[in-house]
Amino acid sequence: MTASAQDVAGDLADVRIGVVTFPGSLDDGDAARAVRLAGGSPVALWHGTHDLEAVDAVILPGGFSYGDYLRAGAIASFSPIMREIIDAARRGLPVLGICNGFQVLCEAGLLPGALTRNAHLHFRNRDQCLRIEARTAWTGDFEPGAEIVVPVKNGEGRYVAGAEVLAAVEAEGRVLARYVGANPNGSSRDIAGVTDSTGRIVGLMPHPEHAVEALTGPSTDGLGFFTSILASILGARAVSTG
């Protein structure tokens, strides 16, 4: 490894990405591994604390937080750690919610719309083609319009919103990704993920953390979400110190 490559690797390792564990989280370990493979340093965050451990960004992983009682993600949105994440996100902390994490972000009011029961009332688990449509802190390494393949696995993954909200999300370019081909859950307008107006808070129903290694994933396409946030954070640091 050259000196410059070592410097880059060292800079990446200095980026701390928090991964929250709720009761019922299933994919927190996978998300942490994806961060490590991208070159960053994952930091375990526990749902019952108020300490964000000085992280540079946060991932809310997939699973069934609090057993999906009431509504998927509803109870988790009131957990102690989420109080801190909500405040920090409104001040600029990047946040990615994957599957159940997307549900939590919608329940917390950080993203518009809601995730409901799949239209066909069946759980879906399969490899899914997506088209990336928005350039955000989490998708900067993808070209707009890029098509990727990552797994989808959900029973309550149907994205819905009122007509005015959907129109605004479309008009403002806040559709993060759309399903290509068969829509797995009946989401409105084939929406697989959305972003807030800043591009820092992102929700995605499919699972990029399960597509980061050729040995275990349908592709390595999902790694781009994790390399993107590392590059975004390093870029912001360079600007602030320049």
Q: Read off the pLDDT of residues 185-200 as tens digits, 9 standing for 90 and up.
A: 999 999 999 999 999 9
Active-site residue, from 133, 156, 207, 210? 207
Burial of 173 (0-12, 13-18, 19+ CB in 10 A): middle
Is residue 217 pLDDT above 80, yes or no?
A: yes
- Please state, for a pLDDT cut of 70, what percent of the chain lies above it: 95
The arrangement of secondary structure in 3-241, i.e. its CATH architecture, is: 3-Layer(aba) Sandwich (3.40)
Q: Look at 65-74, 99-108, 123-132, 152-161 and tell me which has the smallest mean pLDDT.
A: 65-74
Please identify which residue in the block is written with the tokens 């559709």.
175
* Mean per-residue pLDDT, 175-186: 97
What pLDDT was estimated at residue 70?
A: 81
Torsions phi, psi of 31, nearest 5? -65, -40
Which one of the listed residues 107, 133, 209, 210 is annotated catalytic? 209
User: Which amino acid is present at 101?
Assistant: G
Sequence-ordered list of residues with C-beta below 8 angstroms from that of 104, at least 6 positions apart, any chain: 60, 65, 73, 76, 77, 82, 97
* Better-scored residue on pLDDT, 4 or 121: 121
Annotation marks residue 107 as catalytic: no
Q: Which of 99, 106, 107, 156 is catalytic?
A: 99
Could you tell me the residue ranges of all domains in the chain? 3-241
Say whether pLDDT at 117 is over 80. Answer: yes
With contact defined as beta carbons under 8 Å apart, do 100 and 25 qualify? yes
Section 205-229 average pLDDT: 97
99 is catalytic: yes
Task: Let me know if 209 is a catalytic residue.
Answer: yes
Mean per-residue pLDDT, 148-166: 96
Hey, what amino acid is at 85? Answer: I
